Amino acid sequence: MTVHNETARLAALRRLDLLDTPPSEAFDRITRMAARLFDLPIAAVSLTDADRQWFKSKVGVEHWSIPRLQAPCAAVCDGDNFLVIPDLLEDEHFRDSPLAASGVRFYAGAPLTDRDGHTLGAMCVLGTAPRQITAAERDVLTDLAAMVMAQIELQHTLGRIDPISHLPNRNQFLDDFADLPKARPHGAPALAVLLHLASPAQLANAARVMSSCYLDAMVNEAVRSLSIRLGGTTRMYQLGPTQVALIAPQGTSAATCRAALASWVDERDLWSTSRFVTTPAAGIAPFTVGETAALDVLRFAESAVQDAFAAGAAVAVYSSAQDAAYLRRFTLLNEFGRALAQPDQLRLVFQPRVDLASGACVGAEALLRWRHPQLGDVSPGEFMPIVEQTSMARPTTAWVIDAALRQMAAWRAAGLRLPLSVNVSAPNLLEADFADRVLALLCQHDIEPGQLELEVTESAAMENLATAHATLARLHGAGVRVAIDDFGTGYSSLAYLQSIPAHVVKIDQSFVRGMEHDARKGSLVTAMIGLSHDLGYRVVAEGVETDHARVLLREAACDEAQGYFFARPLEPAALCAWLRERAPGQPLREAALVE
Say which range, 75-84, 105-114, 221-230, has the weakest mean pLDDT. 221-230
Task: Look over the chain and give the mean of its residue pLDDT values, rounded to a whole number.
Answer: 89
172 vs 162: CA distance, rounded Å: 10
How large is the average pLDDT for residues 327-356?
A: 92
Residues 233, 571: Cα–Cα separation, whole Å:
66
CATH number of 3-157: 3.30.450.40
- pLDDT at residue 582 in the model: 81
Question: Do the strands 83-85 and 243-247 form a parallel or antiparallel pair, or are they unpaired?
Answer: unpaired
Closest CA to 408 of 396, 422, 394: 422
- Would you say residue 492 has pLDDT above 70? no
Is residue 468 a contact partner of residue 460, using CB atoms and an 8 Å limit?
yes
Q: Residue 369 pairs with which residues in a beta bridge?
A: 347
Greater confidence (155 vs 478) lies with 478
200-253 confidence digits (pLDDT tens): 888 777 777 776 677 778 888 888 888 888 876 788 999 988 899 999 999 999
What secondary structure does DSSP assign to 543-586, as a single string?
A: ---SHHHHHHHHHTT--EEESTTT---B-HHHHHHHHHHH-TTS
Which letter, b or e, does each residue of 514-539 get, where b requires 16 or more Cβ atoms within 10 Å of its Cβ? ebbeeeebbebbbebbebbeeeebbb
Looking at the predicted structure, is the pLDDT value of residue 589 above 60? no
Maximum C-alpha span of the chain:
119
Q: Is 518 helix (H, G, I), strand (E, B) or coil?
A: coil
Better-predicted residue by pLDDT, 202 or 31: 31
Query: Order of strands, edge to edge, in the sheet holding 243-247?
Result: 236-240, 243-247, 189-196, 281-288, 315-317
Q: What are phi and psi of 543, to 5 degrees?
A: 80, 30
Give the DSSP letter of residue 169: B
**How much of the chain exceeds pLDDT 90, in percent?**
64
pLDDT digits (tens, 9 = 90+) for 503-550: 999 999 999 999 999 999 999 999 999 999 998 999 999 999 999 999
CB 509 within 8 A of CB 528: no
pLDDT at 595 over 80: no
Q: What is the pLDDT of residue 212?
A: 67
Q: What are phi and psi of 265, to 5 degrees?
A: -65, -45
**What does the domain layout of the chain look like in residue ranges?**
3-157, 170-318, 348-581
Task: Tell me what the mean pLDDT of segment 261-270 comes to.
Answer: 88
Backbone CA torsion sign across 583, 588, 591, 595: negative
pLDDT value at residue 200: 80
What pLDDT is attached to residue 461? 66
463 — pLDDT class (breaks 50, 70, 90): low
Whether the pLDDT of residue 591 is over 70: the answer is: no
Residues 372-430 have pLDDT tens digits of: 999 999 999 999 989 988 889 999 999 999 999 999 999 999 889 999 999 998 889 88
**For residues 291-318, average pLDDT:** 93
**What is the structure's pLDDT at 581?**
87
- At residue 159, the pLDDT reads 64
Nearest to 524 by CA among 544, 510, 545: 510
pLDDT of residue 513: 93
Note whether 167 and 17 are within 8 A (CB). Answer: yes
- Answer for the pair 336, 370: CB distance below 8 angstroms, yes or no: yes
Q: What is the CATH number of domain 170-318?
A: 3.30.70.270
Single out the residue of 432, 428, 421, 410 nearest to residue 454, CA to CA.
421
**Distance between CA atoms of 550 and 316, rounded to whole angstroms?**
48
Amino acid of residue 124: C
CA dist., res. 300 & res. 249, Å (int): 19
232 secondary structure, DSSP code: S
Q: 138-154 pLDDT, tens per residue? A: 999 999 999 999 988 87
pLDDT of residue 321: 84
Q: How confident is the model at residue 127, as a pLDDT?
A: 96
Residue 83 has pLDDT above 50, yes or no: yes
Q: Residue 481 pLDDT more than 90?
A: yes
* pLDDT tops 80 at residue 131: yes
Confidence check: pLDDT of 587 > 80: no
Per-residue pLDDT at 570 exceeds 80: yes
What separation in angstroms does the CA of 461 have from each of 76, 113, 330, 487?
A: 76, 69, 28, 12
pTM value > 0.75: no
For residue 378, what pLDDT is reported?
A: 95
Going by CATH, does the domain composed of 348-581 fall within 3.40.1160.10?
no
What is the rounded CA–CA span in Å between residue 144 and residue 150?
A: 10
